[in-house]
Structure 1
Amino acid sequence: MGESTGKTPETLRSARWFAPDDLRSFGHRSRMMQLGYDEEDFRGKPIIGVLNTWSELNSCHGHFRERAQDVKRGVAQAGGFAVEMPSLSVDESFTKPSSMLYRNMLAMETEEMIRSHPLDGVVLMGGCDKTTPGLVMGALTAGVPMIYLPAGPMLRGHYAGRILGSGSDAWKFWDERRAGNITDEEWLGIQGGIARSVGTCMTMGTASTMTAITDAMGLTLPGASSIPAADSGHQRMSTACGRRIVEMVWEDLGPERIVTDAAVRNAAIVAMATGCSTNAVVHLIAMARRAGVDFTLDDLDELGRTTPLIANVRPAGKEYLMEDFFYAGGLRALMKQIEERLDTSCVTVTGKTLGECLEGAEVYNDDVIRPLSNPVYHEGSLALLRGNLCPDGAVIKPAACDPKFHVHEGPALVFDSYPEMKKAVDDETLDITPDHVMVLRNAGPQGGPGFPEWGMLPIPKALIKQGHRDMLRISDARMSGTSYGACVLHVAPESFVGGALALLRTGDTVRLDLPNRRLDMLVDEEELERRRAAWTPPEPRFERGYGWMFSRHVTQADKGCDFDYLERGFGRAAGEPDIF
């Protein structure tokens, strides 16, 4: 059962539902018996919620039905009682208009599911991009002991002797397809070879970024984020999660002791060192704010300037995929390389410090996980920009774009909608040069709606046929963590609410100065004021339902896109439900 240092059977949260000799508890015990359980199954034991985001349309989580059973086995081994509970399965591939629209819904569901049920602790099963922050955000607010079980990356892709990386190679070969360089047979082969097993994208996209962040924050078993989904070690890790969460309940080890200022800073440093997705910015800030940690874009940029990128994993790296990263030692090995930069006194779900969890970690391939003396890129993965085009910030992934665009000036070509942009880029007669700056607006949290991953604007076919594969692109959208290129994203405030991007016009000169972290339109303030006075708000995207609520309460990208009423400080929480 584990050493009881904080809880006894009488003080378990679930005891409020089951222990009293009253009518309400009679009903609770009766319904458990209706489910086929004797009181010996659940009375006096930690009741563990296994929150499972499995779905038949979520290929990343295709193994979670089996993994839930592995978790329940571990819970039983440790003397607990596990109950599997389905959670919203926010997948990337099929959810429209954007999975980001539903991250906060998952967070709300997680928080309320924990609060309203007799759960002493939870195992959170996620991995596909928005499931990690959604589950963690909700569980942080609920406050019961929690442990995160990452889905794990899929196996590396293969086609015709070539290794394929999900997402990254899809964009690459799509450009070649548009240029007429790939046959129907080759296209079908790539389609079938790029995703060969269950699990999340095996590049350092948003899924691997967010599970690594959660790992570095101390919310997973050490190194769990690196284990491939198809590896038998993933099953063993899942069972270990079940055993450990029972011990955490007895120890009363809640997330407030784990997700501290220092833990969030550790997570940001690790994210920069891995070549993280640009989406890490939005999610990490939202997670930090749920934990009451004041963490900003400027904090991220400061860490980005001083943390070298040492994971040679696509798309920021040039060679390898997550399976190679695992064989090279995984996240524990990477963290060992940068141990001197981390606060190793932070407590993790193991009950041990981060430093203790890193003991014995080794790098087995120093081309995959580079030493600090030989980084992939001298700074971290992300950079924050400010200027008159993005007064509240924008982000770019310097290591994943052609260095010639780090300082660039060119005329803007502005699109007000995704369909307008899509039609233009397929027009081979489009009047555009490689020096142009493509701009997509009305694609932010409210304008998208839901902050879609449209920010990696396709290179116009006219330029592809000339051999060009990168150009400067700017938007208030996000982009997939598997994407690459000279893409400036998350421009805040977004144009849909009257941000500066709404004032830009085709032909205006735009200047990016990455070394000085500036993004500006070279238009005088008097002219901008005239345009601002003439701007009229667009029609609302939603008039009812969840979308209506989302539009009225979602914060901007620089604040994490959480709902304002879910952040700490908005008002007093309801607290625990009354049992009577």
Structure 2
Amino acid sequence: MGLNNNVENNKKLRSSDWFGRKGKDGFIYRAWMKNQGIPWDMFRDKPVIGICNTWSELTPCNAHFRELAESVRRGVLEAGGFPVEFPVMSLGETLMKPTAMLFRNLASMDVEESIRANPLDGVVLLCGCDKTTPSLVMGACSVDLPTLVVSGGPMLTGKYRGRNIGTSDIWRFSEDARRGMMSEEELNLAEGGMCRSRGHCAVMGTASSMASMVEALGITLPGNAAIPAADANRKVLAQLSGRRIVEMVRKDLKLSDILTRQAFENAIRVNAAIGGSTNFAIHLMAIAGRMGVELELEDFDRFSREVPLVANLQPSGAYFMEDLYYAGGLPAVMHAIERFLHTDALTANGRTVGENTAGCVSVDTTVIATVEEPINPVSGMVVLRGNLCEDGAVLKPSAASPALMQHTGRAVVFRDIEDYKRKIDDPDLDVDETSVLVLKNVGPKGYPGMPEVGNMGIPMKLLAKGVTDMVRISDGRMSGTGFGTVVLHVSPEAAAGGTLALVEDGDLIRLDVAGRRLELLVEEGELASRRARWQNEVNPFARGYAKLYVDHVEQAHLGADFDFLKGGSGSEVSRDSH
């Protein structure tokens, strides 16, 4: 069967431990693969490339991935590799209950063990919908083989009555419908025009933020983030990625060679420049934890503070991912903020960030502006500290109201999401426009899974008065498509005994974004008394994955990964049954 060597660097291919064996073991490995009609020479000296596919009709954003996988397969074959496609758990943000985030860590385990257990020399990760990207990258990092990401791409811009719409408009439509300004018929028309092509959300929501994250980290080919799913160039990029992963295997270029501290700092700065999702923080922290890169919550504030918003994209701006692509895509954004980046950082195509972005100027400065004349000088992610969030909380200033950046108001407390739903439109709710809405028990353990409910709707009685924003605080997350003066990821969460659990109706809360503070203005003695009375609910899950999750999930400021998944186990298989 040949030596099955990686000819370029004379390193033995990992897959040769399966397909290069003599005797009974090699017979079994090869013979059963051949029942798929695979010629004998595919098992000789060819890097085996796994195409890790999150295709699912229950994940609409990824429903075109069968075609994308075929494009990757063509590229692998052209470069002399042996492509093998395999499925992993697919996390559809729009349909999964109670929240797709509950299953991110489970999917990462699926990816990690699928890669390690099988005869793979390199992997192409096909991901699109929000949690599919971090879960696949987390799992791959823990194995550390040569790996490339191919995102599914954003959908085409939505259309409604002559204007462009995207997922961020859902929140506006919802509020308009609640106050009687939009009929059911009009909602149906908007619904029909919103998602008019394959792909993930057309705005800079979490899916687009994740696609931008992996490009900024350097583990995709340049241009990956913005090519629309319906554009033929998305398939071209997938085919080129298939070619490139074979070269990466031959050069033994692994994730650990690319995902350095510099790469993570670049990703934070790019996320600031594009007005990316607050979910970016929790996912990047988890990926860093798998790679063993030291990263702390303050880094998201520290490294984004000087970077202005240059991408004019909803929800922080006006345009859509399709427009970003036409204006030059993420390479043009990175070129615009080049002074803030580690341009010597290595990327998956073998070139540096600086080499990849050289000459990639914006062709439409209304969409991709300059540092000198940005869309907004305020960007990034503010990290708050204080007695209400001892381990931190985050806020996205580019999507918030400037008038609320320094605010003190009375707490209106919702014990959990069900309590919120019961009370929010009650005309007797004791609330005014200066109040601070507080939602408890929607954190990693409390929900469980940390759902995207932090951008609570405005109470009906205030909507009727024309109020469009309020300070809102929770230990949950919000959709990257959402907006408002929303404090998220409060850590420790209420269910873990954080001060958030002690907040009562009428308590004064002070938000000071400039000072990076979030304070509950209650005397320490009173808080101590409340803490002595507080009782944590017993984990109601007696079995299964939900029990595992609640027992082992870390807090938001650490990335909400499982405590036993930090780092990785590498690509070695510990036992051999044959």
TM-score of the aligned structures, taking structure 1 as reference length: 0.97
Q: Within the alignment, does 1:575 sit opposite 2:572 as a pair?
A: yes
Q: Which amino acid aligns with 1:576?
A: V
Q: Deviations over 1:417-473 (max 9, x none)?
A: 111111211223423100000100000000011011110101011111111111010
Q: Which amino acid aligns with 2:387?
A: N
Equivalent residue, structure 1, for 2:339: 340
Equivalent residue, structure 2, for 1:98: 99
Equivalent residue, structure 2, for 1:390: 389
> 1:3 touches 1:247 (CA, 8 Å); kept in 2?
no
What SS class does the counterpart of residue 546 from structure 2 fall into? Answer: helix
Provide the C-alpha distance between the structure 2 equivalents of 1:296 and 1:555, rounded to a whole number of angstroms.
14
Provide the C-alpha distance between the structure 2 equivalents of 1:425 and 1:7, rounded to a whole number of angstroms.
66
Equivalent residue, structure 2, for 1:150: 151
What SS class does the counterpart of residue 313 from structure 1 fall into? Answer: coil
What SS class does the counterpart of residue 412 from structure 2 fall into? Answer: strand
Equivalent residue, structure 1, for 2:118: 117
Equivalent residue, structure 1, for 2:431: 432
Equivalent residue, structure 2, for 1:353: 352
Q: Within the alignment, does 1:196 sit opposite 2:182 as a pair?
A: no
Change in 2 beyond 3 A, CA 1:202/1:211 = same
Equivalent residue, structure 2, for 1:65: 66
Superposition deviation, residue 376 in structure 1: 2.2
Residue of 5, 9, 12 corresponding to 1:6 = 9
Q: Deviations over 1:211-239 (max 9, x none)?
A: 10110100000111111100000011111
1:143-292 matches, within 5 Å, as 143-166=144-167, 168-292=168-292
Equivalent residue, structure 2, for 1:372: 371
Provide the C-alpha distance between the structure 1 equivalents of 2:571 and 2:245, rounded to a whole number of angstroms.
25
Provide the C-alpha distance between the structure 2 equivalents of 1:216 and 1:2, rounded to a whole number of angstroms.
32
Equivalent residue, structure 2, for 1:141: 142
Provide the C-alpha distance between the structure 1 equivalents of 2:170 and 2:571, rounded to a whole number of angstroms.
46
What SS class does the counterpart of residue 20 from structure 1 fall into? Answer: coil
What SS class does the counterpart of residue 350 from structure 2 fall into? Answer: coil
Of all paired residues, the percent bearing the same amino acid is: 47
Q: Deviations over 1:312-340 (max 9, x none)?
A: 101011x1011111111010000001112
Equivalent residue, structure 2, for 1:88: 89
Question: What is the total number of aligned residue pairs between the two structures?
Answer: 574
Provide the C-alpha distance between the structure 1 equivalents of 2:573 and 2:341, rounded to a whole number of angstroms.
35
Q: Which amino acid aligns with 2:316?
A: A
Q: Deviations over 1:354-379 (max 9, x none)?
A: 11111221201111111011222223
> 1:115 touches 1:577 (CA, 8 Å); kept in 2?
no
1:301-320 matches, within 5 Å, as 301-317=301-317, 319-320=318-319
Q: Deviations over 1:59-97 (max 9, x none)?
A: 111210111111101111111111110111101001111
Q: Which amino acid aligns with 1:338?
A: I
Q: Which amino acid aligns with 2:185?
A: E
Superposition deviation, residue 162 in structure 1: 1.4
Q: Which amino acid aligns with 1:408?
A: H
Change in 2 beyond 3 A, CA 1:122/1:338 = same
Provide the C-alpha distance between the structure 2 equivalents of 1:421 and 1:141, rounded to a whole number of angstroms.
39
Equivalent residue, structure 2, for 1:52: 53
Equivalent residue, structure 2, for 1:534: 533
Provide the C-alpha distance between the structure 2 equivalents of 1:419 and 1:79, rounded to a whole number of angstroms.
56
Superposition deviation, residue 259 in structure 1: 0.3
Superposition deviation, residue 3 in structure 1: 9.7
Q: Deviations over 1:245-270 (max 9, x none)?
A: 01111111111100000011111110
> 1:2 touches 1:250 (CA, 8 Å); kept in 2?
no
Change in 2 beyond 3 A, CA 1:39/1:474 = same
Provide the C-alpha distance between the structure 1 equivalents of 2:490 and 2:63, rounded to a whole number of angstroms.
35
Provide the C-alpha distance between the structure 2 equivalents of 1:5 and 1:497, rounded to a whole number of angstroms.
52
Provide the C-alpha distance between the structure 1 equivalents of 2:386 and 2:523, rounded to a whole number of angstroms.
13
Q: Which amino acid aligns with 1:24?
A: D
Superposition deviation, residue 2 in structure 1: 13
Superposition deviation, residue 35 in structure 1: 2.2
Equivalent residue, structure 2, for 1:42: 43
Change in 2 beyond 3 A, CA 1:514/1:267 = same
Change in 2 beyond 3 A, CA 1:4/1:307 = farther
Q: Which amino acid aligns with 1:159?
A: Y
> 1:288 touches 1:294 (CA, 8 Å); kept in 2?
yes
Provide the C-alpha distance between the structure 2 equivalents of 1:415 and 1:138, rounded to a whole number of angstroms.
36
Change in 2 beyond 3 A, CA 1:358/1:574 = closer
Q: Which amino acid aligns with 2:492?
A: P
Superposition deviation, residue 7 in structure 1: 4.5
> 2:6 touches 2:45 (CA, 8 Å); kept in 1?
no
Equivalent residue, structure 1, for 2:419: 420
TM-score of the aligned structures, taking structure 2 as reference length: 0.97
Superposition deviation, residue 184 in structure 1: 1.9
> 1:49 touches 1:84 (CA, 8 Å); kept in 2?
yes
What SS class does the counterpart of residue 386 from structure 2 fall into? Answer: coil
Superposition deviation, residue 183 in structure 1: 1.5
Q: Within the alignment, does 1:559 sit opposite 2:562 as a pair?
A: no
Provide the C-alpha distance between the structure 1 equivalents of 2:505 and 2:427, rounded to a whole number of angstroms.
19
> 2:203 touches 2:314 (CA, 8 Å); kept in 1?
yes
Provide the C-alpha distance between the structure 2 equivalents of 1:547 and 1:464, rounded to a whole number of angstroms.
37
What SS class does the counterpart of residue 226 from structure 1 fall into? Answer: coil
Equivalent residue, structure 1, for 2:79: 78
> 1:285 touches 1:296 (CA, 8 Å); kept in 2?
yes
Q: Deviations over 1:27-63 (max 9, x none)?
A: 1011112222222123221111000000011111121
Q: Within the alignment, does 1:470 sit opposite 2:469 as a pair?
A: yes
> 1:156 touches 1:323 (CA, 8 Å); kept in 2?
yes
> 2:6 touches 2:47 (CA, 8 Å); kept in 1?
no
What SS class does the counterpart of residue 522 from structure 2 fall into? Answer: coil
RMSD: 1.5
> 2:20 touches 2:43 (CA, 8 Å); kept in 1?
no
Equivalent residue, structure 1, for 2:297: 297
What SS class does the counterpart of residue 491 from structure 2 fall into? Answer: coil
Equivalent residue, structure 2, for 1:489: 488
Superposition deviation, residue 304 in structure 1: 2.4
What SS class does the counterpart of residue 49 from structure 1 fall into? Answer: strand
Q: Which amino acid aligns with 1:270?
A: V
Provide the C-alpha distance between the structure 1 equivalents of 2:521 and 2:62, rounded to a whole number of angstroms.
47
Change in 2 beyond 3 A, CA 1:191/1:237 = same
What SS class does the counterpart of residue 142 from structure 1 fall into? Answer: coil
Superposition deviation, residue 380 in structure 1: 2.3
Provide the C-alpha distance between the structure 2 equivalents of 1:42 and 1:171, rounded to a whole number of angstroms.
53
Provide the C-alpha distance between the structure 2 equivalents of 1:195 and 1:306, rounded to a whole number of angstroms.
35
Q: For structure 1, which runs of at least 5 residues remain unmatched after alignment?
A: none
Superposition deviation, residue 578 in structure 1: 4.0
Provide the C-alpha distance between the structure 1 equivalents of 2:426 and 2:8, rounded to a whole number of angstroms.
68
